A and B are shown apart, each in its own frame.
Chain A
């Protein structure tokens, strides 16, 4: 059953450096980048390697498994979309490949989230074009 409510939370402003990342997420695939010259892995995606300023970039598909690096149970946020869904868990998840990303941990009681908890990706299709990478206990 489709949810008829309009999506009110902020949507990513996709740009020329991030388009590939968001298009992959829409296919339910999570990617980070690696520099072809110096080998440094990076997240979020960007055109130029901050380590060596090379533009030679490869996309690496992440397994979608990781652990909670830090988190907070948000009890107050005035932004439309979030204020109706309090409390929710804002987290930083460390992918098993290394990079960390800001996300939400869903699919459990907020009070049960712990640092170090093993999590796996959930692809949340929030509009026809945008899919957000969220995580649930693995």
Chain B
């Protein structure tokens, strides 16, 4: 059975918390599992495939114990914040191949209440390449900042163009009652906020929150009998970029490889996409991702995101929940991209609904855009 079009997201739930000092990450995983399974009209006993990340090298085993799961198929692919998008693709493949029937993907984190400085904590000396970088003080934000600096140098992209992306995300967050920050901001506010790592200002950076969520996937056939309108997985692809042998173009990001491949696998074109959920760790991430996915040419990202074009009512609404820049970012945001795409394709968007949304593109970025990173693109289609 082909993967594409034959598997569906049938349950999706985003934990409403943004600050949970009274909760543990595993508790957020469990509550999210409860929410997504209830949404699907299934129970934890139906789950025979389990997918998670961000829980430590063999943390999947601990989480299986916490949830008393005995799955037939597991996957703890850990490629940064995009991992949960990757899990959806892997779950779709596993379901299509008959390795499991009902896949549960969960995420939970208390990064904010643990006061974890996600973007500015610096790098630990872990993998072999780190010895050539960590002594010089790289940070996550610094890695993205070097991409932004290079983009400005090559194409003349401005801080105001980046700022407008943050302004649009905040406008969307204003429609999301759970978003961490909802008050409107202006381009001037972004440019006046303190510089964290030049050229990126505080308001160019995602928030740090607690939170979590879960997804339930099964075959399109079984989905027909379940509680909610299924959202089909129509295509997807993954890619990895890194500094290689030392001649890597910082603007050649993973999305350039997996974006076109995902679209081709789904048999759809850019013009067919009604809304995009793009990992917005920083404003520059959105700009270069939309370029690399092929929605505009390299260097045109600033103009493409200007004038509210990526806002609700614009040509290509992006991150209609307010994204990581304003709604939530507990460290690994991939699952929320999928949850928001599902919400849109079900027509559950409320005030933030994209009119007649039938096709959504989700793109997760994991790791550090200017050093080692992953990209995962997934095309989702609603069934009306």
Digit string of A73-95 for contact with B (CB within 8 Å is 1, else 0)?
Answer: 11111110110000010111000
Known A-B contacts A72-B142, A115-B150; the reply to A100 vs B197 at CB < 8 A is: no
* CB <8 Å contact, A74 and B135: no
Least CB separation from B244: chain A residue: A50
**Which residues of chain A are near B147, meaning CB under 8 Å?**
70
Q: A77 and B139 in contact (CB under 8 A), knowing A13-B131, A99-B245?
A: yes
Judge whether B121 is part of the interface by a CB distance below 8 angstroms.
yes
27 A-B residue pairings within 8 Å (CB atoms): A9-B135, A11-B135, A12-B134, A17-B128, A18-B131, A44-B132, A70-B153, A70-B370, A72-B149, A75-B194, A75-B197, A76-B141, A76-B196, A77-B122, A77-B137, A77-B139, A78-B122, A88-B137, A90-B138, A90-B142, A92-B370, A99-B246, A101-B132, A102-B371, A104-B137, A116-B153, A132-B136
Smallest beta-carbon distance A119→chain B, Å? 14
**B355 in contact (CB, < 8 A):** no
- B245 & A40 in contact (Cβ 8 Å cutoff): yes
Interface flag for A59 (CB, 8 Å): no
Q: Decide: A102 near B150, CB < 8 A? Known: A13-B125, A43-B246, A73-B198.
A: no
Contacts between the two chains (Cβ within 8 Å), count: 133
Do the beta carbons of A75 and B136 come within 8 Å of each other? no
Instruction: State which residues 191-208 of B face A: CB under 8 Å.
Output: 194-200
Size bracket of the B interface = 35 or more
Is A82 in contact with B122, judged by CB distance below 8 angstroms? yes
Instruction: For the complex formed, measure the closest distance between the CB of B127 and the CB atoms of chain A, giving whole angstroms.
Output: 10
Note all chain A residues with C-beta closer than 8 A to B123.
10, 79
Q: Does A3 contact B (CB under 8 A)?
A: no
Asked if B150 contacts A70 (CB within 8 A), the reply is yes
Query: Chain A: residues with CB nearer than 8 A to chain B?
Result: 9-15, 17-18, 32, 40-44, 46, 50-51, 69-79, 81-82, 88, 90-92, 98-104, 115-116, 126, 130, 132, 134
A15 with B131: CB separation less than 8 A: yes
Inter-subunit contact A99/B247 (CB<8 Å): yes
Q: Are B138 and A102 in contact (CB under 8 A)?
A: yes
Q: Is the pair A79, B131 in contact by a Cβ cutoff of 8 Å?
A: no
Given the complex, which residues of B lie within 8 Å of A132, measured CB to CB? Answer: 135-136
Question: For the complex, what is the distance from the CA of A84 to the CA of B264, rounded to whole Å?
Answer: 50
| B129 CB–A CB distance under 8 Å | yes
Report Cα–Cα, A45/B129, bound state, in Å.
9
